[in-house]
Amino acid sequence: MSSEVIRVENLSKMYSTREGDFHALDKLSFAIEEGGFVSIVGPSGCGKSTLLQLLTGLLEPTSGQVLIDGIEVRKPLPEKTGVMFQDATLLPWLTAEENVAFPLSLCGKDKKESQLRARDLLKLVGLGDFINHRPAELSGGMRQRVAIARGLVRDPRILLMDEPFAALDEQTRFKMGEELLWIWQETRKTILFITHGLTEAIYLSDTVLVMGTKPGRIIEVIPVDLPRPRTFEMIGSEFFGKARNRIWTLIQEETEA
């Protein structure tokens, strides 16, 4: 029996504006199995971020529901989902270690224990020598690594990532992708990854969900049948090119429509 950790059922979100109701998301349904790596791509304004806010429990759906581990999400569930944003959103007055331990301190974990856990995770993301640095003293890539460690600190089964590497340069972005795959393999998390980068989406994922716009909905599910571990050479393969072209065409059609 396969176990679904994320299940989205007929999820809709409507906003009332002066021009009338605006359908941000219309009856989205999909499921992600435990240990899966799923990416969501789509044109700007297709409701990707709204979807992420619904998954994290920051927003309430107009209709439909999000189930995480079979539980309906109505508020943030930090013990089940770790979240990462486009911006590292570290708290600038805390050190790297304190930032990673921040979610633990919110739920009243023992300070010494939290410290050790934060240090272990910083080592995992390759920042063992930077535990006492503040965000301002770290590079963009390093800050995102701290954010990954913070997302993992409560040992959630799921990582929700909203364009986490979009603000990084191409080289750093590729390296971060590699590291994320490695961490994913090590920790066996389920990852939902929202991105603008088609290459990034295909390279990292088992499945790519393509979203259409007005209203936001899923228009195609593209399985990525490439073996793991993924290698740089695969990006040049025929399958990769076809998948990329397919997604590109879908998104173009959506933006022109």
> Residue numbers of the site for other proteins (CB under 8 A)?
56-58, 76-79, 81, 83, 85, 87, 89, 91-94, 102-103, 105-107, 134-136, 150, 154
Task: Please give the structure tokens belonging to residue 114.
Answer: 């939290």
Task: Please give the structure tokens belonging to residue 223.
Answer: 């399985």
Least Å from the CB of residue 136 to other proteins? 5
What is the DSSP annotation of 225-253? Answer: ---SS--GGGGGSHHHHHHHHHHHHHHHH
- Closer CB to other proteins, residue 118 or residue 218? 118
Least Å from the CB of residue 77 to other proteins? 8
Determine how β-strand 158-162 pairs with β-strand 217-223. Answer: unpaired
Question: What whole-number distance in Å separates Cα of residue 196 and Cα of residue 245?
Answer: 14
Least Å from the CB of residue 137 to other proteins? 8
- Closer CB to other proteins, residue 102 or residue 120? 102
- Closer CB to other proteins, residue 70 or residue 92? 92
Q: CB neighbours (10 Å) of residue 242?
A: 11
- Closer CB to other proteins, residue 99 or residue 213? 99
Least Å from the CB of residue 98 to other proteins? 10
- Closer CB to other proteins, residue 111 or residue 228? 111
Residue indicated by tokens 């059922």:
9
Residue indicated by tokens 């993924």:
230
- Closer CB to other proteins, residue 14 or residue 94? 94
Q: CB neighbours (10 Å) of residue 107?
A: 10
Question: What whole-number distance in Å separates Cα of residue 30 and Cα of residue 99?
Answer: 33
Sequence-distant (≥ 6) Cβ neighbours of residue 109 within 8 angstroms: none
Least Å from the CB of residue 222 to other proteins? 28
Least Å from the CB of residue 20 to other proteins? 25
